[in-house]
Amino acid sequence: MDLVDQITKQVESYVISLYEKNQFPALLFHSLSHTQQVVQHVEELSSYYRLSPKDHFSVVVAAWFHDTGHLFSVVEGHEDISWKIAEEYLLPLDIEKIILRKIRACILATKMPTHPRELIEKIICDSDTYHLGTDAFIITDDLIKREMQLREDIDSSDWDSRTLTFLKSHQFHTDYCRQKLTDQKDENIRTIERRIEKTQARNAK
């Protein structure tokens, strides 16, 4: 195992331990499971785009750390906390400064609304919202709704309308995800639209 693989494994173990030691039951969506899925999608896109070893390492490490801030902060600004957690762990490892900058850029690129510039930033953003273009979306949307109710005590009476607005404004940044996930995302939009229509019809009675 070379040094890069060794550090990646160490990062994986460290992030898993963070979630295990800092149990936060309200993280119904932003859980360790979500992070692991994002890492899987990052690997999928990294392979497709044949990233250089440095870029692959940077975006995978960023994927592991990108939501750790949720464990220690409110939703707003959690990305900055995630980077601080990553920086504190990575600095003693004598990683090249350019790679640290790439990791930071990837983590901060996931801040909504996303405006990624480099390919690896686009990859992590698409991996983070990959679920929007899958048939698991209805499940993940409900998890996010329940998480926000627990964490921020939101009024969820208009949740479907807010979800619809988000889905319509969202865009995948890589050609790979646009080609693979857009059809299902469009179907998810239609599902939410039908649900809103049913609710409106029920309320009109």
Tell me the per-residue pLDDT of 54-105, one tens digit each, with 9 for 90 and over. Answer: 999 999 999 999 999 999 988 999 999 999 999 999 999 989 999 999 999 9
- Per-residue pLDDT for 204 more than 80? no
- Per-residue pLDDT for 192 more than 70? yes
Among 44-48, 71-75, 100-104, 152-156, whose mean pLDDT is lowest? Answer: 152-156
Helical spans, DSSP H, in the chain: 3-21, 32-49, 53-65, 78-90, 97-109, 119-128, 137-152, 159-169, 175-204
Per-residue pLDDT averaged across 146-161, rounded? 92
- The answer to whether the CB of 7 falls within 8 A of the CB of 95 is yes
What letter represents residue 114's amino acid? T
- The pLDDT value recorded for residue 201 is 86
pLDDT band at 40 (very low <50, low <70, confident <90, very high): very high
Identify whether 92 is preceded by a cis peptide bond (ω within 30 of 0).
Answer: no
pLDDT band at 1 (very low <50, low <70, confident <90, very high): low
- The pLDDT value recorded for residue 117 is 97
- The pLDDT value recorded for residue 60 is 98
Domains of the chain listed by start with CATH number? 3-204 (1.10.3210.10)
pLDDT band at 154 (very low <50, low <70, confident <90, very high): confident
- The pLDDT value recorded for residue 200 is 87
Q: Write out the two tokens for 83.
A: 């980077």
| pLDDT tens digits for range 103-142 | 999 999 999 999 999 999 999 999 999 999 999 999 999 9
Mean pLDDT, rounded, of the chain? 96
* 44 phi, psi to nearest 5 deg: -60, -50
Owner of token pair 């899958």: 134
| pTM across the whole model | 0.96
